[in-house]
């Protein structure tokens, strides 16, 4: 029995993906989650053979969810699923350890081929971008590893720092005390090996982090 977890905040896409997978495979258990917290809970409660992770869902915005889950569940095969079929993005996620990248425009046959290859331990990316995949440099890999060490709360603070918000404004948006924000900022500086907000903004921009979704703060 193979167990897959579809982590995506759009129920219609989850249903479509479930339908394609159910037609393509026998003896398959499909789990679902719609945000980062429920995804982590599902992974803790189940033995999952492959996580199909949307990069853009509450708590996960862009690369953070992938990095956080990868660090927490180091042996878990992850297939990144995204509506953005960009060679640079695909290079990043594969270079950082994803088993593959499935665009949301993929056909049922492509989904079957992708999942089959990844369950067998092979990396799969769309044929249209295979010749454009580039290696991830060591500097970017180190940045990703450092960001992966952040907690979800620290990640939210980092994103707001990138957007130029002051500690008081961040506290208001996250409904936490300014002293708590300062503690998060101190932890962020330590984990990222930096000593000022300018450096934090640069790192957040390099990793293409997005602000937390409003319903997730």
188-203 in b/e form (b: 16+ CB < 10 A) is: beebbeeeebeebeeb
- Is the model's pLDDT at 106 over the cut of 80? yes
Per-residue confidence band for 183, with pLDDT thresholds at 50, 70 and 90? very high
Q: What is the pTM of this model?
A: 0.82
pLDDT of 126 reads 87
Phi-psi bin for 53: left (phi > 0), alpha (psi -120 to 50), beta?
beta
Label residue 203 by pLDDT band (50, 70, 90): confident
Tell me, what's the pLDDT at 65? 87
> Which residue would you say has higher pLDDT here, 20 or 63?
20
Token pair for residue 178?
A: 């300014």
* Whether 69 contacts 147, CB under 8 Å: no
| pLDDT tens for each residue of 137-158 | 788 888 888 988 999 899 889 9
Residues 6+ apart with CB under 8 A from 26: none
Structural domains in the chain plus CATH codes: 2-132 (3.40.50.2300), 138-216 (1.10.10.10)
Q: CA 155, 149, 139, 192 torsion: positive or negative? A: positive
Helix (H, G, I), strand (E, B) or coil at 4: strand
Question: Are residues 71 and 43 in contact, defined by beta-carbon separation less than 8 angstroms?
Answer: no
- For residues 190-217, give the mean pLDDT: 74
């Amino acid at each position: 029995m193979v167990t897959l977890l579809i982590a995506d905040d759009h129920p219609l896409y989850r249903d479509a993906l479930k339908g394609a997978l159910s037609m393509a495979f026998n003896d398959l258990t499909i789990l679902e989650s719609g945000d980062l917290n429920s995804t982590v809970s599902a992974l803790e409660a189940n033995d999952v053979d492959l996580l199909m992770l949307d990069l853009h869902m509450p708590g996960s915005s862009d690369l953070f969810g992938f990095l956080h889950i990868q660090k927490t569940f180091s042996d878990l095969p992850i297939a990144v699923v995204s509506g953005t079929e960009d060679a640079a993005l695909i290079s990043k996620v594969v270079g950082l350890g994803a088993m593959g990248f499935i665009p949301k425009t993929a056909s049922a046959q492509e989904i079957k081929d992708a999942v089959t290859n990844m369950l067998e331990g092979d990396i799969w990316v769309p044929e249209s971008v295979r010749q454009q995949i580039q290696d991830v440099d060591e500097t970017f890999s180190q940045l990703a590893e450092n960001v992966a060490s952040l907690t979800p709360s620290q990640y939210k603070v980092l994103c707001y720092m990138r957007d130029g918000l002051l500690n008081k404004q961040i506290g208001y948006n996250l409904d936490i005390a300014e002293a708590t924000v300062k503690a998060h900022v101190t932890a962020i500086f330590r984990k990222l090996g930096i000593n000022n907000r300018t450096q934090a903004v640069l790192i957040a921009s390099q990793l293409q982090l997005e602000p937390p979704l409003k319903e997730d703060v």
